[in-house]
């Protein structure tokens, strides 16, 4: 369940951030204002509060979500804001010359975005996105608060069944650690696999 929530909300966040990045690139200054507000609101308030608001608050405006959907949406929206910031920094890292030269060679804006900006930005963003994924893995534990049977909640069940809190949560912590470590390890290998000269700075 923890992995499902993490993967789904990360994907939702990625979808949101990609869309926002696209809008920011092609839109002017005006469209970036609501985007900035979205990012600031979701980064400036606790994820737990966002989760509680969506799960307990939304029913009063006739939006009833089950614990699973509410968790994915809350964590996904939150992650979308963080991922959009990661993408923004990644794009900022591309020298302006690149875009200028691409233009000078007769490339259209959409070509520049697809072939020059994105391939470089995504490579710049990989370390940030990997971090974000692991953060979500851990933050998904908040879903236990609204009763979702994910890893932390299972720890609580174990505790109440055995009255052994130390053992129960040590096991839970170890599983989180194992998951994070596995993910870090795999992503490092993937990075190495796709590394190209000049972009290897984050591959250790």
We find the least distance from the C-beta atom of residue 109 to other proteins, in angstroms, to be 9
What's the longest Cα–Cα distance across the chain? 70
Q: Write the binding mask 165 to 204 for other proteins: x where contact by CB under 8 A, - elsewhere.
A: -------------------------------xxxx-----
Q: What is the total residue count of the chain?
A: 204
How big is the site for other proteins, counted in residues (CB under 8 A)? 22
As to burial, measured by CB atoms within 10 angstroms (0-12 exposed, 13-18 middle, 19+ buried), residue 184 is: middle
Q: What is the three-class DSSP state of 32? A: helix
Cα-based angle 50, 74, 77 (whole degrees, multiple of 5): 105
As to burial, measured by CB atoms within 10 angstroms (0-12 exposed, 13-18 middle, 19+ buried), residue 118 is: buried
We find the least distance from the C-beta atom of residue 179 to other proteins, in angstroms, to be 31
We find the least distance from the C-beta atom of residue 59 to other proteins, in angstroms, to be 48
We find the least distance from the C-beta atom of residue 114 to other proteins, in angstroms, to be 9
- DSSP characters over 96-124: HHHHHHHHHTT--HHHIIIIIIHHHHHHH
We find the least distance from the C-beta atom of residue 149 to other proteins, in angstroms, to be 43
Q: What is the three-class DSSP state of 63? A: coil
Q: Write the binding mask 79 to 118 for other proteins: x where contact by CB under 8 A, - elsewhere.
A: ----------------x-xx-xxxxxxxxx--x---xx--
Of 6, 120, 141, 152, which lies in the binding site for other proteins, with binding defined by CB under 8 A? Answer: 120
Cβ closest to other proteins, residue 69 vs residue 98: 98
Q: Applying CB under 8 A, which residues contact other proteins?
A: 95, 97-98, 100-108, 111, 115-116, 119-120, 123, 196-199
């Amino acid at each position: 369940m923890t992995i499902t929530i993490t993967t789904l909300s990360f994907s939702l966040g990625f979808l949101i951030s990609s869309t926002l990045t696209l809008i920011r690139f092609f839109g002017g200054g005006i469209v970036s204002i609501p985007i900035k507000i979205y990012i600031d609101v979701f980064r400036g308030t606790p994820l737990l509060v966002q989760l509680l608001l969506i799960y307990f608050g939304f029913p009063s405006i006739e939006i009833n979500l089950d614990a699973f959907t509410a968790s994915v949406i809350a964590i996904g929206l939150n992650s979308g804001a963080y991922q959009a910031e990661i993408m923004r920094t990644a794009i900022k890292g591309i020298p302006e010359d690149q875009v200028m030269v691409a233009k000078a060679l007769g490339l259209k804006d959409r070509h520049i975005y697809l072939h020059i900006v994105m391939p470089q930005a995504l490579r710049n963003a990989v370390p940030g996105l990997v971090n974000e994924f692991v953060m979500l893995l851990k933050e998904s534990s908040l879903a236990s608060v609204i009763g979702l049977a994910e890893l932390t909640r299972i720890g609580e069940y174990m505790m109440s069944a055995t009255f052994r809190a130390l053992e129960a949560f040590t096991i839970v912590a170890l599983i989180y650690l194992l998951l994070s470590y596995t993910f870090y390890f795999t992503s490092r290998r993937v990075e190495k696999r796709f590394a190209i000269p000049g972009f290897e700075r984050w591959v250790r």
